[in-house]
Amino acid sequence: MSLVAGLMSGTSLDGVDAVLVDFSENPPRTLSTFWLPYPDEIRHKALHLQAAGYDELGRAAMLANELAGSYAEAVRALLASAGVDAARVSAIGCHGQTIRHQPAAGYTIQLNNPALLAELTGIAVVADFRSRDIAAGGQGAPLVPAFHAAVFGDPELHRLILNLGGIANLTDLNPGKAVRGFDCGPGNLLMDAWVERHQGRRYDESGHWASQGKVLPDLLQHLLADPFFAADPPKSCGRDEFNSAWLETRLGGDERPEDVQATLLELTAVSSSAAIGRWCGSPQEVFVCGGGARNQALMTRLQQHLPACRVASTDFLGQPADWVEAVAFAWLAWRTLNGETGNLAEVTGARGPRILGAIYPR
């Protein structure tokens, strides 16, 4: 069987991206997609677990069970839309919901209950992709550059893939050179938190609210002074480093909310483009995936900061921007099932390539 489902619930905490991918073809073909939004209760529970608190082990275990239920619901809807029976699916590649990412301390935590997910769906589950890389001395992230190289690489063009999810990360695909990749800093997570706080919306559609404000240069420089931005790759980050508390400590308190939003959008554009310029040379093309690809104001600023590059969505490469990461984890699961390595040591800093993930049989 060559069908694998991929599930991704990322730093944005908006919901579950689900894809069904056929690996009998090269490149693999996405047969069906489905998005299941998180209920507010799950979002709030996951956010509260970002920091230590009362009975956090019990709360984490219970939330993992809830997430398994949501993941199973997404898989059932995905297979129904494709008209595919669960017995035809080799596995589900399930990333889980990150609540801690501390590679320097030797661990990362993605909430998940893959045994329960296998029980609820009747399909084998591949999970816990990041721990094996960290055990080998790596960052455990980003893991998608290997997939980007397999699917998006061009033998002649110097191309970058920039994923703008909650966190921004990039993959440098330069013909004749080793693949590079690393996290750049915040993608959408700070913008999403700020617009939800002030306008009650999950995200700033097309960057419309940010476009009504103006960038605050002093605040922008204060944000960019964080040591993460200047640190050399390999590097990765998450809500542990960039969160609402991080932002609050850098605000004066008298800023207009729309100006802060404009500055946060500029932070993502500047930090991403600066990382490209500093560590990736002069690419000819930058293709963007993740929710940020749908933020027209952000895409415009990226193009302005990268005038020598073509900046466009991965839609133009045949992989819709909204689903790239979910497809990547289906691909990683497929490699695990076939005993093939999934990380790139030159990206994560691991001691070598490793087979990633743990398999929970159907």
pLDDT, one tens digit per residue, over 37-62 is 999 999 999 989 988 889 999 999 99
Residue 76, pLDDT > 90, answer yes
Q: Write down the pLDDT at residue 13.
A: 85
pLDDT (average), residues 273-296: 97
Q: What does pTM read for this prediction?
A: 0.93
Domain holding 261, by residue range, is: 145-321
Q: What is the mean pLDDT of the chain?
A: 96
Residue 27, pLDDT > 90, answer no
Distance CA 192, CA 322 (A): 16
Co-location of 55 and 193 in the same domain: no
Distance CA 237, CA 228 (A): 8
Co-location of 250 and 265 in the same domain: yes
Co-location of 258 and 345 in the same domain: no
Co-location of 301 and 351 in the same domain: no
Co-location of 208 and 253 in the same domain: yes
Co-location of 161 and 134 in the same domain: no
Q: Write down the pLDDT at residue 289.
A: 97
167-173 and 180-186: which strand pairing?
antiparallel
Co-location of 286 and 213 in the same domain: yes
**How many structural domains is the chain composed of?**
2
The CA distances from residue 85 to 81, 141, 359, in Å, are: 11, 33, 20
- pLDDT tens for 84-126 read 999 999 999 999 999 999 999 999 999 999 999 999 999 999 9
Co-location of 295 and 337 in the same domain: no
List Cβ neighbours of 357 (8 Å cut-off, separation of 6 or more): 93, 126, 127, 128, 129, 132, 332, 333, 336, 342
Q: Write down the pLDDT at residue 10.
A: 84
The CA distances from residue 101 to 45, 113, 225, 238, 246, in Å, are: 17, 18, 22, 7, 16
Distance CA 327, CA 324 (A): 5
Co-location of 208 and 160 in the same domain: yes
- Identify the CATH number of the domain in which residue 72 sits: 3.30.420.40
**First vs last C-alpha separation in the chain:** 14
Co-location of 149 and 12 in the same domain: no
Co-location of 192 and 86 in the same domain: no
Q: Write down the pLDDT at residue 52.
A: 87
